[in-house]
Amino acid sequence: MSKSRRSTLIRGTVSLALLLFLASSVDWSEIGSLLQATAWPPLAFAIVLIAGLVGLSALKWRLLLTMHRVSITMGDAFRLYWIGIFFSNFLPSSIGGDAVRVALLHNTHNLTTVAATVVEERATGFLVLVALSTGALIWGPQYPPYLALPLWSGVMVAAGLLTALLFLPALSIPLPIKRIMDHLPGVLARVLNAVTRVARATTALHRDPRSLATTLFLSCIYYLGIVLVQYAIFRGCGVPIAFLDILWIAPLTLLIGAIPISLNGIGLVEGAFVLLYGYVGVTPEQAFTAALLNRFMGLGVSLVGAPFWTVYKNPVGIAPAAASDQPPEGALTEPAGNTLHNEVGDTDG
């Protein structure tokens, strides 16, 4: 069994175990009553909002592509982004949605440059999520030490990783490390060189403060939309929860769901709903019902990517890079038929 399949199996087992534990801890008759009494207009609003957030994410990605002189229409960015979400949710994690987007644009553009835009998109979104999570821990509900300590530790680790991802690539690689990389086995050396080139390509964002500020602003709007989605779902379930409580808890549910030990955060996000919303008076049944609706609505919206994928032939509307657009120094030059099989990142925003 390959490492990717083994990893998928382990994460799938973790997701299943968490869901079974949660399912055995709630009263399903109460959940059934909640579903029967659900008000559908707020849920319909949440579905429309989720779809709108896909468009917002596509807009942010297109902005980064434009900054790297990759020409793509908004319609194609929207279609490719939705295809990526479909792949992320319904296909094995070794074929990540971000990798699919990179592979499709790789037909007409430099692989390193396109991969860098995906890294920047995910990193800037995650940066905002970490900032919101920090604010949630400071001003939100006061959690007991046994919960607050792991949450704070997770935020600090995430902040450290982001710092390394966004700022260390601007530094030169020390000569001894370069020599070590030159003597690594062929496949490992190529992988490390590819990662290094993609990381260096992200430094373009450091030199464009306006684009950086715009992407961070769009990420703030995105996470505000996530808060509104959760608020609409709770209201649809008849749960009288304050908007401010969701503002402080929603970012933490997303941060917990980003821990790479389950498939797409399945089980982790639902557990975070039950655990964290319990501190503001939401019962486990109410929180689990809202979490399940949140999950299935997201999956349902991502299904729109399936017909986009089935009719996808060539990147219509994607213009090849201009002759004057030189790829970054040391950029990858594999044949167009090659694809990228590893996820760059899978946290929306």
* CA 214 to chain CA mean position, Å: 18
Q: What per-residue confidence (pLDDT) applies to 274?
A: 97
What lies within 8 Å, CB to CB, of 170 at 6+ separation is 203, 206
Domain around 279: 35-310
Q: Are 109 and 100 in contact (CB under 8 A)?
A: no
* Residues 155/98, Cβ–Cβ less than 8 Å: no
Residues 6+ apart with CB under 8 A from 265: 256, 257, 258, 259
Whether 333 maps to a domain, the answer reads no
Structural domain includes residue 345: no
8, burial (CB in 10 Å: exposed 0-12, middle 13-18, buried 19+)? middle
> What pLDDT, on the 0 to 100 scale, is given for residue 328?
38
Distance between CA atoms of 62 and 73, rounded to whole angstroms? 8
In a domain, 186, yes or no: yes
Q: In angstroms, rounded to a whole number, what is the distance separating the alpha carbons of residues 292 and 230?
A: 11
Alpha carbon distance 219, 349 (integer Å)? 5
Contacts of 300 (CB under 8 A, 6+ apart): 47
Q: Judge whether 309 and 82 are in contact, CB under 8 Å.
A: no
For 191, other C-beta atoms within 10 Å of its C-beta total: 13
- Polymer length of the chain: 349
Could you give the number of structural domains in the chain? Answer: 1
Q: Assess if residue 162 is contained within a domain.
A: yes
Residues 132-160 as b/e (b if ≥16 CB within 10 A, e otherwise) read bbbebbeebbebeeeeeeebbebbeebbe
237: its two tokens: 């379930």
Q: CB count, 10 Å around CB of 271? A: 22
Sign of the torsion formed by the C-alpha atoms of 263, 147, 254 and 239 = positive
| Residue at 93 is within a domain | yes
H-helix or E-strand spanning residue 145: helix 145-167
Let me know if residue 200 belongs to a domain.
yes
pLDDT at 224: 96
- Assigned token pair, 103: 């592979």
Q: What is the structure's pLDDT at 179? A: 53
Nearest-10 Cα torsion for 327, 330, 334, 335: 40
Give domain status of residue 243, yes or no: yes
Q: Consecutive sets of 10 residues in the chain, 349 residues long: mean pLDDT of each?
A: 76 92 95 93 96 95 89 91 89 69 77 83 89 93 91 87 64 51 55 60 70 90 97 95 96 92 91 96 96 95 90 49 37 30 40
Half-sphere exposure of residue 330: CA atoms within 13 angstroms, side-chain side: 11
| Token couple for 14 | 């973790």
Alpha carbon of 112 to those of 199, 200, 205: distances in Å?
9, 9, 14
Domain contains 211: yes
What six digits make up the tokens of 187?
Answer: 């496949």
pLDDT for position 88: 86
Token output for 323: 């002759």
Which residues lie closer than 8 Å to 106 by C-beta, 6 or more apart? 114, 336, 338, 339, 340
Look at the alpha carbons of 291, 223, 120, 51 in this order and tell me if their dihedral is positive or negative. Answer: positive
Strand, helix or coil for residue 347: coil
